[in-house]
Amino acid sequence: MSFLSVREAGRKFRDGSLTPSALTDRCLARIAELNPKLNAFYEVFTGEARAEAERAARELREGRDRGPLHGIPVGVKDLIDVAGHVTTCGAHKGFHPPPAREDADVVRRLREAGAVILGKTALHEWALGVTSNNAHFGPTRNPHDPGRIPGGSSGGSAAALASGMCLLALGSDTGGSIRIPSALCGTVGIKPSYGKVAMGGVAPLSRSLDTLGPMANTVEDAWLMLDAISEPKRREMHPPRILLPRNYFFEEVDPEVARLVREAAARLGPVEEVDLPQAKTAWETNPIILLSEAAHVHEARLKDHPEWFGPGLADRFRGGFEFRATDYLRAVEFGEEWARSLLRLLGSEAVLAVPGTPVPAAKIGDREGAAIARVMTRFTSPYNLAGVPVLSVPVGKVDGLPAGMQLVAAPGADDLLRSVARDVTSLPL
């Protein structure tokens, strides 16, 4: 599927062939047409979005240009506060807070950049899950096959992008929640280095692992959004070396997914094979921190209203209580060592290419909870544990369903991914 890019829309705004109002109306019409089937948005800010688009158009006419995102329609994952609206977190209505009094830091930055906030996108309940099959709001569906999952937990953002409902969307990522839906829906996502994007006004899952990042239909659009929501520190970087792991990331993976990733990596430059002996341990360690912290976040809710959680979710959260303090501290120590090992391997000159998910999108209801999470997070959650930046890009299709590739840089080396992104955009899909 091909839709107008942020850069293309900006050019049209400035040459007068398109207005922010017309583009916003186009997105709203697309939502009205497709959202009843796909369930990508939980709430649409129709009146507010049109008012923001008109203001953006007026500012551009008056010569006030806020930059590349001026007038661009954006979806916001519904665990991020937008002033005047309830942040549902995809949870039971009994858990819903009053409307937010102010915007989350990241939404404030989007408004300062002139973006038009279209509404709240769907997610897996409390962001703990990879299907976005929500017990309280219904399933979100993959635009490539509505009988299949879009991934999660940022499934609504990916589905909205893949169906042309918006040009950009915000996602969050604690174990793969940006990269899994990006891979399954054929979109682009960036999990930045831990701490690069401010988390104020965002409902937490695991404070040590949570990250916010951009989701888009093109690599360039994703970087434009990341610049708007963070403090960009651009450095000129040479084209990186491309590394492929010999072990783990190409084990227990669909052969076609593996082939597409290997071929895409080879098109970026000469490929070197490397060993990652700690990768499996990193995957097994991430849930110790995630679930321990998530259990702490939800302790009162689990005590007062366990019946308000979707099927199996309360038990998954309670699993965090089973870890001891020594388990948690040992996991933190391992995460620090894992990050150091990636820094030694990648340095400032190499990126690692791995599949986004082992398999394409499953059918809705095929597997849920921990069973599918263990499959889908195998290649993503190790990098949350290390806090490293990851770019997720589509590399083709397997039986008509998208497959994705992750490009991983060392801690803090987000700009290295920007340098390789120029080549990624030319990959034939």
Burial of 16 (0-12, 13-18, 19+ CB in 10 A): exposed
Query: Is 208 noted as a catalytic residue in this protein?
Result: no
Catalytic-role residue among 5, 153, 157, 182: 153
Q: Hey, CA dihedral for 343, 215, 286, 402, is it positive or negative?
A: negative
The CA–CA distances, whole Å, from 383 to 76, 186, 278, 336 equal 23, 20, 12, 11
Q: In angstroms, rounded to a whole number, what is the distance separating the alpha carbons of residues 49 and 65?
A: 18
Q: What are 142's two structure tokens?
A: 């993959």
End-to-end C-alpha distance for the chain, whole angstroms: 11
Query: Is 172 noted as a catalytic residue in this protein?
Result: no
What H or E segment, with its residue span, contains residue 403?
Answer: strand 401-408
**Residue 205 near residue 294 (C-beta atoms within 8 A):** yes
Q: In angstroms, rounded to a whole number, what is the distance separating the alpha carbons of residues 132 and 187?
A: 16
Catalytic-role residue among 5, 21, 77, 208: 77
**Residue 20 near residue 184 (C-beta atoms within 8 A):** no
Burial of 195 (0-12, 13-18, 19+ CB in 10 A): exposed
Q: In angstroms, rounded to a whole number, what is the distance separating the alpha carbons of residues 211 and 36?
A: 29
Query: Is 153 noted as a catalytic residue in this protein?
Result: yes
Cβ neighbour number for residue 423 with a 10 Å cutoff = 15
**Residue 313 near residue 125 (C-beta atoms within 8 A):** yes
Catalytic-role residue among 132, 177, 292, 381: 177
Q: In angstroms, rounded to a whole number, what is the distance separating the alpha carbons of residues 229 and 309?
A: 32
Q: In this structure, which amino acid lies at residue 161?
A: L
What residues are labeled active site? 77, 153, 177
